[in-house]
Amino acid sequence: MTIPAFRDQRELPDDDGYFSSLRTDEARPSWDNPSMPPWPEQQGQYAQPQQYGQPYAGQDNYRRGDITEPSLTDPTGWKAGTGVPVVDERPPGESTSGNRLLTVLLFFSGLATSVALWLFNTQPGAISNDATLMIAAGRVTGLIGGYLLFMQLLMMSRVSWLEEWVGSRDLLRWHRWLGTSLLTFVIAHVVFIVYGYALTAGTGVVEQGWTVITTFPEMISATIATGLLAFIALISIRAVRNVLNYELWHLIHLTSYAVLLLGYGHQIAAGADMSGKFASVFWPALGCITIAALFWGRIVEPLWLNARHRFTVAEVVGEGANTFSIYIEGKRLDKLPVQAGQFMRWRFLTANGWWQSHPFSLSAAPNPQWLRLTVTIAGGHTRKLATMRPGAPIWAEGPFGTFTAERRTRRRALLIAGGSGIAPIRALLEDMPPDTIVIYRASRPDELVFRAELEELAEERDAWVRYIVGGRNDPGPRRLFTPDGLRGLVPDVNRRDVYLCGPPGLVNAAVDTLKELDVPDSQLHLDPFEF
């Protein structure tokens, strides 16, 4: 079967007719219409059409893409193996390990400083019994909790320099870890302080707790802040989060700013270790840095980005079963600081979508004429996006992510995608070196999006594409994420950078297998969409 090449996709009839009713003839681009973005072949980006699904040069062993199945006779364990690896060389790629180390050192230096404020403010012999010990523990945990809250908000400020310096994957991982730690220290602070005051006053814990809330300054706001923090932690549990609408979850998560505002008044009013010559500089300075980063990352940078580029919808195009692409045009796209593999947060300013912002990766490398997002219908919001008309304005934030080719530490790469994760993988392939291998996991052949584009890019860039198709209990998919199965497809897997994007189950299974194959963590690149 002949699969149409990339340049023809936007002129093809829809697979199921779903998109045909969404566009008029006037909305379709025309080769003679200079107002529409030019197709890729007008820019000289791709080679002439190939008869995909047929061997190149008449030799089956030079075929760049194939649905791969297990084999009982081939030494690799697969039909259509990828061949013998070539000599390994390190590229002159950018390394961020030093950045991460410096960031960790700065974090723990600040943490030590916050604890030292209590140490220097405590007189020798001040801790003489259980009550003073509990109060001291409460003050220390309170200082740590306050510091962690500032760090939480700073990490999620979306300020570009921090995201580029550390990387969104590490920021998201640290944010999750610090979230649990923050709640633990805040609860410990409450328990220790109330228990210590109860021992001092000789009253019950519940009675003393009520006295603290109703008589101490700023304690009502601090109690509300603690309740909000516990609620945010509850909805961040994966099982709970999966039930909530994403936009509702994100809106509730933003109340963490209120936690800062409500809790900071309590720290200033009741914090015995917040005053003093050094403390009166340290805490306000930390607060100013955090608020400035939030203001810059959440307000200034998005305003500048959208005022400069003025994004609008160029066209919505069906790609396959429940999948469509959104082509975006704008001003000065050649100045847009985005790379293949990165994602941005997109808010489509339509009657039913203006209030929702979602992260979508580019599914093609950026160019001066247009950007492309590819969306899989997964709910009411994404279904409505498929009905957008050309000219709809867009509000964007970003770009985000270090899921880019410049983060490679090895000469060759392995790209693994599943489901909608093919979007950034497809874009990344344009920037990857020769001998790159793409493994694309899908349940059915009709779910393979961009097959023609992948194979054309593979031919152009001397890469290979392997499709693993079938249910999770079929032989091929079951074999894929086993050490022997993955090594059979990619013999030199531990000498490659591995880029992973797809459903959590696929990514987790792949990471576990890669760990068994001794692939270092520095060679693993994941695309976090929650940032």
pLDDT in tens, 166-225: 766 677 778 788 888 888 998 998 899 898 889 888 888 888 888 888 877 777 877 888
Report how far residue 88's alpha carbon sits from residue 501's, in angstroms, rounded to the nearest whole number. 25
Give the bridge partners for 325, in sequence order: 317, 374
Compute the mean pLDDT over every residue in the chain, rounded to the nearest whole number. Answer: 77
Structure tokens given for 452: 């023609």
Neighbour count for residue 40 (Cβ, 10 Å)? 20
Q: Is residue 305 predicted with pLDDT exceeding 90?
A: yes
Q: Is residue 397 predicted with pLDDT exceeding 60?
A: yes
Strands (E), 255-393: 312-320, 323-329, 343-348, 358-361, 371-376
Report how far residue 346's alpha carbon sits from residue 6's, in angstroms, rounded to the nearest whole number. 25
Positive or negative CA dihedral for 87, 91, 95, 98? positive
Report how far residue 43's alpha carbon sits from residue 346's, in angstroms, rounded to the nearest whole number. 26
Q: How far is the CA of 525 from the CAs of 332, 414, 463, 499, in angstroms?
A: 30, 10, 19, 5
What single DSSP character describes residue 52? B
What value does the mean pLDDT take over residues 257-283? 68
Least confident residue range of 85-94, 141-150, 329-338: 85-94
Q: How far is the CA of 443 from the CAs of 263, 291, 416, 420, 451, in angstroms?
A: 49, 46, 15, 12, 14
Report how far residue 522's alpha carbon sits from residue 409's, in angstroms, rounded to the nearest whole number. 8
Structure tokens given for 406: 């410049």
pLDDT in tens, 99-143: 677 888 889 999 998 888 888 777 777 788 888 899 889 888 988
Report how far residue 487's alpha carbon sits from residue 479's, in angstroms, rounded to the nearest whole number. 11
Cis omega before residue 29 (within 30°)?
Answer: no
Strands (E), 432-491: 437-442, 464-469
CB environment 227-264: b (16+ within 10 A), e (fewer): ebbeebbeebeeeeeeeeebeebeebbeebeebbebbb
Report how far residue 446's alpha carbon sits from residue 458's, in angstroms, rounded to the nearest whole number. 20
Strands of the sheet with 343-348, listed across from one edge: 358-361, 343-348, 394-400
What value does the mean pLDDT take over residues 358-366? 89
Report how far residue 81's alpha carbon sits from residue 116's, in angstroms, rounded to the nearest whole number. 60
Report how far residue 231's alpha carbon sits from residue 212's, in angstroms, rounded to the nearest whole number. 22
Is residue 226 within 8 Å of residue 194, measured between CB atoms? no
Structure tokens given for 279: 């403390």
Structure tokens given for 429: 């392939």
Rg of the chain taking only CA atoms, in angstroms: 27
pLDDT at 333: 94
Sequence-separated (6 or more) residues with CB below 8 Å from residue 64: 56, 455, 458, 459, 463, 464, 465
Is residue 443 within 8 Å of residue 322, measured between CB atoms? no
Most confident of 81-95, 162-176, 276-290, 433-447: 433-447
Give the bridge partners for 413, in sequence order: 497
Is residue 317 within 8 Å of residue 10, measured between CB atoms? yes
pLDDT at 517: 93
pLDDT at 71: 58
Tokens 């840095």, located at residue: 289
pLDDT at 66: 62
pLDDT band for position 74 (cuts 50, 70, 90): low
Q: What one-character-per-residue DSSP string does 70-90 give? A: B-SSSTTSBSS----------
Report how far residue 249's alpha carbon sits from residue 384's, in angstroms, rounded to the nearest whole number. 20
Is residue 370 within 8 Å of residue 333, measured between CB atoms? yes
CB environment 182-205: b (16+ within 10 A), e (fewer): bbebbbbbbbbbbbbbbbeeeeee
Pick the residue with more confidence: 531 or 234?
Answer: 234
Q: Is residue 42 predicted with pLDDT exceeding 50?
A: no
